Amino acid sequence: MKHIYQKGTKENAPTLLLLHGTGGDERDLLPLADMIDPGASVLSVKGNVSENGMPRFFARLAEGVFDEEDLVFRTKELKDFIDHSAEEYGFDRDQVVAIGYSNGANIAGSMIYHHEDSLAGAILFHAMVPRRGVAIPALEKLPVFIGAGTVDPIIPKPETEELVRNLRESGADVTDYWTNGGHELRRDEVEEASRWFHDHFVK
């Protein structure tokens, strides 16, 4: 997968896995990593699927309707890529925290739903429920931050609430933060995510 790896100056910090939204690329969220934890190593990945020329991490059938077969395949593809990258670049595979926005947050959520211990934590900005009717692994206090907008035209509030509920019922330690905005990424939710990250991962 096309990507950027930047080795950080903090030896014991988690590696930040950056996952862009639809139409983005591997450079989009690099400034976000600096806001969350400057000095951390970064693995920023570009999605392998193209939708009308716009990169994505998995296919969809319509707005808000995922191609579940492709989602499962691409989720494993991404997990395997992280596994191989850890070997190639020498970072701790057990200390990877995903930071995803929109489509990128959805595939990060899918990794949590499908692959036990695939992430040490996740910051999900404007994420949907990745799949329904599947058994979620025991998440054992997995720290997850979810940023959402109360008037998001793409993700209704009950959708985010369902995601929060599903993760909590599976044992995750979920912090949800709401802005009065829509689907855009707002500075206050990024700042809150940074505080959350430091509370959970900075020693």
What does pTM read for this prediction? 0.95
**What share of the chain in percent tops pLDDT 70?**
100
| Stretch 71-87: mean pLDDT | 96
- Are 142 and 121 in contact by the 8 Å Cβ rule? The answer is yes
User: For residue 51, what pLDDT is reported?
Assistant: 87
Average pLDDT over the chain, rounded to whole? 94
Question: Which residue in this structure is represented by tokens 């070997």?
Answer: 87
Banded model confidence at residue 37, pLDDT cuts 50, 70, 90: very high
Q: Burial, 49: exposed, middle or buried (Cβ in 10 Å; 0-12, 13-18, 19+)?
A: middle
- Residue 27's nearest CA partner among 45, 9, 14 is 45
Handedness of CA 79, 125, 45, 23 (dihedral sign): positive
46 Ramachandran zone, left/alpha/beta (phi>0; psi -120 to 50) = beta
Q: Determine how many CB atoms are found less than 10 A away from the CB of residue 121.
A: 21
Mean pLDDT (whole number) for 105-120: 95
Task: Write out the H or E segment, with its range, that includes residue 176.
Answer: strand 173-179
Give the mean model confidence (pLDDT) for residues 81-102. 97
pLDDT of residue 67: 86
pLDDT score at 60: 80
DSSP letter assigned to residue 150: T
Catalytic residues: 102, 152, 183
CA dist., res. 72 & res. 138, Å (int): 19
